[in-house]
Structure 1
């Protein structure tokens, strides 16, 4: 529910109180009636200055009763201006329709009061002027209330939008970190598992090959730790953690996965213009799936650079991805490539899998 502008009633209370006290001091003098007038105005200020845990209608009725009591005790007649607060506050409490109806009712009541207590007021300029000024004050009060309500609603919508943007940004950052963990850490854990299997298989037959496999596993573990630290340290755009040279980074990936019963080839042609993290992650995803899911023995990684951009192709002769094609890895890869304005194509069957990723410069 919109809240009234707090300073408007306070200003009116202060102005009427100052005017009434000045009139009392310079005219009939300060008496019990004037004291009651001042006390009730202070009570109105306290009522409007706090939030009460009572129904809105109850607070509004109490305020209206206090306004009538102030008007009855006011010998100066200035307090009638306070009745513009009735439609103003009613606008916030009950809506614009009730506010307008209360404003019209206050104007009618003032005219009726003049008719009852001031004979011939309709031909006296001062009373006609008072009625017109009061009606104008009601119109201005309703207009101010409408502006305040629109402003509060717009502020609420803006705050809601900002909160939604913050939530979306947080969700996007969580997804990015999840992709980083899956693509980098998941790949290196796969590589470590492969190298340790190789070391175990060659432990008795070829100690040198077994030791080399353990060294490769250690390298993958250190590399995974470095990438996790980099992700936590930067928490920034993906470009901040791009490898220096895609070709060199891919050569490292192939070197530490190749061997044993699995052969991995790398073919790069063209001129690399800048490092492309999205292709590096695509190669990680393709190699990880080929090693982990398909049981491939022959894997080929091809990179082509041209004037338009770069194209990566990872092929294998395994049994296909199965349900892995719908997993988090390829879903995250598609999102990465989409943000880079590239394309992804994955085809998988019992004869193997082909992953093709194209990214513009």
Structure 2
């Protein structure tokens, strides 16, 4: 499809008031010269002159109603030829010579309808016609000041008409571009509003998932320890009151630690002054120290320097250690648990290894040998349980990974690794 020879039209035709004003002035001047001028006025001449001007006014009105923005090419050419004929007829019937002002409208109308090049070309052509007419029908005109002034004023009028048309079209196009830009900005604002709403929803989901992991890994660990100690106290309260009292003391201590974790989480969400900088080594040592003295026995091995590793990565490894010990206590039936942390040059690694009964990695969680008889589906340890799944999601957000090595009767080894470098972008974490 061929592009139009002119820019897209603006919201309205430029300078709609100018042609009617010129027609009215020319009609008034011609009638005044015909009625008041020397010699009797010919009614037919005045009637023909008036009819030409009225036809021009009607033609402008009809064109504006038919084409309120821009006249198409073919109708514009036809109307331009018709106007030229009416201008010539009015000039021939005019005794005052004021009708020559009508020719100023030719380049002006062509500029609006056909573009800048055609308008300028018509202005030059009109100036050439004026010079040629004076040369042919008024010999020696250049020696008469009045006629020289008349030619100069005609040329100046043509120049002003083209300049005015250029300014009007430029202003109209600028307004059209501004309107288009405002529409684009409005659309962009609506899209940004939608994106902000999506980001808010995603942020809410991420925060909800984070809190779910925090409650599961922190409170879940302590509540499991409390439940085990209470079961132990209930079992020994008659046979061995001392052991029962010790179990209750351990349960009370776990409840205090759970309360401390809740307070710390609330303080972090309120953005209050946080606790001391997190140390994974100290946290693991405290975790082992508060473990039950009975089976399973927990040992801790530390190697390397945790300085330089990200706090959020070390926190994730601590949550992995809590989840691993919780799973061992609930399901493994182990007697020994080895907890080790290694701070390497490129990544930090946490290993929780037990000598329990293990499970088949491909088995359903509620069908694994390490599941309790009263366990509900998905409650057992393993890759399909919520605990390890939450652990994997937490580490994946930090660019880390979780590996589970197990088998029936072979115990379970859970390895969690987090890179030392900066966290990946949000869009890359799930890849």
Determine if the TM-score, normalized by the shorter chain, exceeds 0.5: yes
Counterpart in the other structure of 2:378:
none
Counterpart in the other structure of 1:279:
317
Asked if structure 1 preserves the Cα contact closer than 8 Å seen for 2:348 and 2:417, the reply is: yes
Asked if structure 2 preserves the Cα contact closer than 8 Å seen for 1:302 and 1:313, the reply is: yes
C-alpha deviations, 1:311-342, integer Å up to 9, x for none? 22111122335623212222222232233333
CA RMSD between the two structures: 4.4
Cα distance change on mapping 1:129 and 1:349 into 2, 3 Å: same
| Structure whose CA Rg is larger | 2
Counterpart in the other structure of 2:225:
191
C-alpha deviations, 1:27-61, integer Å up to 9, x for none? 9xxxxxxxxxxxxxxxxxxxxxxxxxxxxxxxxxx
Q: 2:404 aligns with which of 346, 349, 354?
A: 346
Counterpart in the other structure of 2:289:
255
Q: Could you state the TM-score of these two structures normalised by the residue count of structure 1?
A: 0.62
Equivalent residues, number: 285
Task: Kindly state the Cα deviation for residue 157 of structure 1 after the two structures are TM-superposed.
Answer: 3.8
Counterpart in the other structure of 1:5:
none
CA distance in 1, matches of 2:217, 2:283: 14
The answer as to 2:105 corresponding to 1:126 is yes
Q: Could you state the TM-score of these two structures normalised by the residue count of structure 2?
A: 0.53
Written as runs of structure 1 = structure 2, the 5 A alignment for 1:168-317 is: 168-235=202-269, 244-273=278-307, 276-317=314-355
Asked if structure 1 preserves the Cα contact closer than 8 Å seen for 2:304 and 2:342, the reply is: yes
| Bigger helix share | 1
Task: Kindly state the Cα deviation for residue 84 of structure 1 after the two structures are TM-superposed.
Answer: 8.5
SS class of match (1:220):
helix
The answer as to 2:391 corresponding to 1:333 is yes
Asked if structure 2 preserves the Cα contact closer than 8 Å seen for 1:84 and 1:134, the reply is: no
Task: Kindly state the Cα deviation for residue 234 of structure 1 after the two structures are TM-superposed.
Answer: 2.1
Cα distance change on mapping 1:82 and 1:354 into 2, 3 Å: farther
Structure 1 gap ranges (5+): 1-7, 28-73, 87-102
Asked if structure 1 preserves the Cα contact closer than 8 Å seen for 2:278 and 2:315, the reply is: no
SS class of match (1:312):
strand
C-alpha deviations, 1:299-321, integer Å up to 9, x for none? 22122334444322111122335
C-alpha deviations, 1:209-250, integer Å up to 9, x for none? 22222122122222222323332332399xx67874323322
SS class of match (2:383):
helix
CA distance in 2, matches of 1:197, 1:209: 12
Task: Kindly state the Cα deviation for residue 177 of structure 1 after the two structures are TM-superposed.
Answer: 1.3
The answer as to 2:358 corresponding to 1:320 is yes
Task: Kindly state the Cα deviation for residue 130 of structure 1 after the two structures are TM-superposed.
Answer: 2.0
CA distance in 2, matches of 1:262, 1:339: 32
CA distance in 1, matches of 2:62, 2:241: 103
Cα distance change on mapping 1:118 and 1:356 into 2, 3 Å: same
The answer as to 2:417 corresponding to 1:358 is yes
Structure 2 gap ranges (5+): 1-9, 26-56, 89-101, 116-168, 366-381, 421-431
